[in-house]
Amino acid sequence: MYKIVRKENLGSSVVQFDVEAPKIAAKAKSGQFIIVRLDEQSERIPLTIADYDREAGTITMIFQAVGFSTNALKTLEAGDSILDVVGPLGTASEIENYGTVVCIGGGVGIAPVYPIARDLKEAGNKVISIIGARNEDLLFWKDKMAAISDELLIATDDGSAGIKGFVTDVLKSVMDRENVDRVWAIGPMVMMKAVANTTRPSGVKTIVSLNPIMVDGTGMCGGCRVQIGTETKFACVDGPEFDGHLVDFDLAMRRSSVYKTEELQAVEHDHQCRIGGIGKCH
Amino acid sequence: MPLKAPRTSMPAQDPAERSHNFKEVALGYTAEMAKTEASRCLDCKNPLCVKGCPVEVDIPGFIRAIVSDDMSGAVDVLKQKNNLPAVCGRVCPQESQCESKCVLGIKGESVAIGRLERYTADWDMAQTFKAPEKPEPKSERVAIVGSGPAGLTAAADLAKMGYQVTIFEALHTPGGVLMYGIPEFRLPKAIVQQEIDYIRALGVQIEVNAVVGKTVLVDELLDTEGFDAVFIGTGAGLPNFMNIPGENLNGVYSSNEFLTRTNLMKAYDFPNYHTPIKIGKKVAVIGAGNVAMDAARTALRLGAEESYIVYRRSAAEMPARHEEIEHAEEEGVQFRLLHSPIAYEGDEKGQLTKMTLQRFELGEPDASGRRRPMPIEGDTVEMPIDTVVVAIGQGPNPLVPHSTEGLELTKKGNIVADEETGVTSRDGVFAGGDIVTGAATVILAMGAGKKSARAIDAYLNAKRDQ
Ligand SMILES: Cc1cc2nc3c(=O)[nH]c(=O)nc-3n(C[C@H](O)[C@H](O)[C@H](O)COP(=O)(O)OP(=O)(O)OC[C@H]3O[C@@H](n4cnc5c(N)ncnc54)[C@H](O)[C@@H]3O)c2cc1C
Ligand SMILES: Cc1cc2nc3c(=O)[nH]c(=O)nc-3n(C[C@H](O)[C@H](O)[C@H](O)COP(=O)(O)OP(=O)(O)OC[C@H]3O[C@@H](n4cnc5c(N)ncnc54)[C@H](O)[C@@H]3O)c2cc1C
Ligand code: SF4
Ligand code: SF4
Ligand code: FES
Ligand SMILES: [Mg+2]
């Protein structure tokens, strides 16, 4: 059992947990992830390691309640425990001094981009961070991001914070104004695709973090396979970070939606149980 | 009893019924059946059957005990050599091992050794649990990586010798393929669980959610975590794909994913369990080994209307156990032999809709002694299909081999280890099971675990005496 030592609501649907997991905290590197299982019936839910405290032996996870399992996770409180937490999984980000780096976090993708931006800053890079979301409610960690960035820029679709527009609009203006050596982009698949398309003409290497549907996270099932150039890779062990210019985003998006019907069914079943309805409930 | 007494058949669930549930197919002998079958054994002076068993179970010994109504004696004899008899009695390929050597098999039918083993183990499980006696403890600590049959056996044997043993398992449940691969209807998980409970009662610690190579390294186990030896039994956990067009469409699964979702994550009980699985009306499983039979039979139970085995050789070459092929046929699995897919196609949503099959004929025998399948030029056929399960074998998972210093590997990436001892190129590191041999069998993995346990004991004794 892994105890939640702190819970913070970062908006109406985004939650932060700090969880006791000393072995994972000791090993975690930016870019890596964990898999959690809430209880005996639970799915295995992959989440990025948003931060870690090696001394306290805790790791930080930030998730958006989007479906059945993340909503169930959201009901836990500080003091409660998660049945299983396994990690750190995946390969670490390649941190070097590249020069000027733009780090882009979209929505809940702000969480995974934070430790990467921090490490890039420590490695001597000039870090320009761009965070964006549909609206202000979905933005978080502005201060944390500002503290480790040379510059922090914000974009929202509705203009409720920062400029009104997409992170790619902001990225374009940054690239117009100065030389950029590398870009990191983590967020919804459509955003990462748009960022990759934005940097493609100039050839600025762009790293994205893919989040295909996973089961084990150890390279055993092959469910997380993604197409990178001419090769099929397993995102859980070969990634999750890949060269954005080589990723087949359309395939990745189609693969991510394979269980849409079942995902709705899970929510519906749970709803029926709650209203004292039909069927076998747990 | 006359020599020609027929082999006692084992009752099974009716095929029409069982193909829709996940309950165990074979129901096991009654006491009477077991005794009848046991009495067929000639109690040979030089029992050839024992030579066919990779862990050398004293077969006439336990069968003799059944005949004389000494069931706890039968259990003792069995457990001297086999830590997981309830598992082996169910899944050993007996027809090519112990039973293939039985003298009765020369002229008639061999003794049903596997069924008797299962009966004995099940009798034992039904008794009130007696905690095993703990031996004089030794000070050395041994780490076991992976909790499949190889790791569990090595752990149990070392614990019986008094060592302090900790198993590190990547998944949230111990048991390896016994838990995540072989389906409930063939090997009930409650049985594997009981075997694991027994191993825990011997004092073995099991740490789940520990991915060696990520959470902790083999080098750290030896250098900083205080272990004196390490046994690696991580299995063959890397699914092979065919690298043909359309293989990444939705609806194409590896057998590992298909079976893990169903067995480990219990997707058959979705939405009570929350992991989904998608199953269409028409399912094709590529391959004809045990894994393929399990997947094809699972597909029917998950609601597929048609389930096919697609295999590029003929029936004679199918590597699965006889009983599994028979059970699959009885349940309605259909066989498309001498066919193999060369491409998949899907709709605009990326969902698989059809596959193109290449037809084959058999040529001269190849290195494996089986006749080589040869594609018939230009002879292809299209088949509409909703779900494909690729069950064409496993490679070694590279997590441990590639994160451990100084471990010699084969070209394919398996760990090089001595067959008799599991000794690797790295001092204090032993290995056995599928990670060494490539995908093989439960009993061979157990045999390797046993041999390594002995070798680790010898290694630690020598170190202590230095
Ligand atoms: C490496 C990695 C890191 C991730 N990091 C984060 C993170 O830091 N914060 C965060 O909020 N989310 C993260 N995700 C996504 C998160 O795992 C999914 O949102 C979650 O599993 C959805 O579960 P659900 O039951 O609530 O929703 P569902 O309704 O079941 O699914 C909603 C969508 O989430 C995706 N999804 C469903 N099941 C899985 C699964 N087993 N694995 C991956 N994706 C799935 C699918 O695209 C699906 O359409 C990450 C995913 C991966 C692979
Ligand atoms: C579907 C299926 C059906 C089969 N049917 C039969 C049958 O009927 N009869 C038969 O004899 N054989 C059968 N087999 C083969 C048999 O199951 C295997 O040969 C046997 O399980 C191998 O045992 P093992 O201990 O080497 O590895 P496994 O059983 O594969 O166990 C390895 C364990 O190590 C863990 N692990 C892997 N990497 C790490 C890591 N980095 N850190 C920590 N832990 C790790 C895995 O999670 C797993 O639990 C079948 C196999 C499958 C897949
Ligand atoms: S362990 Fe397997 S091979 Fe050995 S006697 Fe039992 S069934 Fe036969
Ligand atoms: S060879 Fe057959 S008859 Fe002889 S002891 Fe073994 S099981 Fe019995
Ligand atoms: S999640 Fe199973 S191989 Fe990546
Ligand atoms: Mg879900």
**pLDDT tens-digit readout, B61-81:** 999 999 999 999 999 999 988
- Burial status of residue B70 (CB atoms within 10 A of its CB: 0-12, 13-18, 19 or more): middle
Which residues in chain A touch residue B259, judged by CB atoms under 8 angstroms apart? none
Sign of CA dihedral B331, B334, B335, B339: negative
Q: Determine the Cα–Cα distance for residues B233 and B451; give it in Å rounded to an integer.
A: 13
Per-residue pLDDT of chain B (466 residues; tens, 9 = 90+): 455 688 999 999 999 999 999 999 999 999 999 999 999 999 999 999 999 998 899 999 999 999 999 999 999 999 988 988 999 999 999 988 999 999 999 889 999 999 999 999 999 988 877 777 888 999 999 999 999 999 999 999 999 999 999 999 999 999 999 999 999 999 999 999 988 998 999 999 999 999 999 999 999 999 999 999 999 999 998 999 999 999 999 999 999 999 999 999 999 999 999 999 999 999 999 999 999 999 999 999 999 999 999 999 999 999 998 889 999 999 999 999 999 999 999 999 999 999 999 999 999 888 878 889 999 999 999 999 999 999 999 999 999 999 998 999 999 999 999 999 999 999 999 999 999 999 899 999 999 999 999 999 999 999 988 7
Distance A212 CA to ligand 1 centre (A): 8
Cβ distance B396 to B306 under 8 Å? no
Average per-residue pLDDT for chain B: 94
**Is the link from the previous residue into B47 a cis peptide, with omega within 30 of 0?**
no
- Residues forming a β-bridge with A60: A18, A51
Task: Kindly report the CATH class assigned to A100-209.
Answer: alpha beta
Q: Do B274 and A227 touch (CB under 8 A)?
A: no
The pair of structure tokens assigned to A175 is 């690239």
Q: Best substitution site from B48, B51, B53 to test ligand 3's pocket, by max atoms within 8 Å of Cβ? A: B53
Q: Do A87 and B215 touch (CB under 8 A)?
A: yes
Option in B216, B248, B256 nearest A221 (CB): B256
Q: Determine the Cα–Cα distance for residues A224 and A214; give it in Å rounded to an integer.
A: 5
- Contact partners, residue B49, CB within 8 Å, separation at least 6: B59, B60, B98, B99, B101, B102, B110, B111, B113
The alpha-carbon gap from A168 to the nearest alpha carbon of chain B, in Å, equals 27
Q: Is the CB of A277 under 6 A from ligand 5?
A: no
**Ramachandran area for residue B325 (φ above 0: left; ψ -120 to 50: alpha; else beta):** alpha
Q: Do B215 and A24 touch (CB under 8 A)?
A: yes
- Stretch A54-83: mean pLDDT: 95
Q: Determine the Cα–Cα distance for residues A231 and A213; give it in Å rounded to an integer.
A: 18
What is the CATH code for A2-89?
Answer: 2.40.30.10
pLDDT value of position B72? 94
Q: Determine the Cα–Cα distance for residues B444 and B448; give it in Å rounded to an integer.
A: 6
Calculate Rg over the CA atoms of chain A.
Answer: 19
Query: Residue A121: helix, strand or coil by DSSP?
Result: helix
Provide the whole-model pTM: 0.94
Alpha helices in A46-109 (DSSP H): 68-74
Model confidence at A276, pLDDT cuts 50, 70, 90, reads low
Q: Do A215 and B257 touch (CB under 8 A)?
A: yes
- Contact partners, residue B348, CB within 8 Å, separation at least 6: none
Average per-residue pLDDT for chain A: 93
Element (H, E) at A51: strand A51-53
Which residue ranges make up each domain of chain A?
2-89, 100-209
Q: Do A251 and B350 touch (CB under 8 A)?
A: yes
The alpha-carbon gap from B15 to the nearest alpha carbon of chain A, in Å, equals 27
Option in A23, A85, A266 nearest B216 (CB): A23
pLDDT value of position A6? 96
Option in B208, B209, B250 nearest A254 (CB): B250
Q: Nearest C-alpha to atom 13 of ligand 2 is from which residue?
A: B441
- Contact partners, residue A126, CB within 8 Å, separation at least 6: A99, A100, A101, A150
Q: Determine the Cα–Cα distance for residues B51 and A242; give it in Å rounded to an integer.
A: 52
Phi, psi of A19 (to 5 degrees): -125, 140
**pLDDT tens-digit readout, B380-433:** 999 999 999 999 999 999 999 999 989 999 999 999 999 999 999 999 999 999
The alpha-carbon gap from A199 to the nearest alpha carbon of chain B, in Å, equals 27
The Cα angle at residue A104 between residues A99 and A106, in degrees rounded to 5 = 175
Whether the per-residue pLDDT at A277 is higher than 60: the answer is no
DSSP annotation of B409 reads: B
The alpha-carbon gap from A252 to the nearest alpha carbon of chain B, in Å, equals 9
Residues of B contacting chain A (CB within 8 angstroms): 170-172, 208-211, 214-216, 237-239, 241, 243, 247-248, 250-251, 253-254, 256-257, 260-261, 265-266, 270-278, 349-351, 397-399
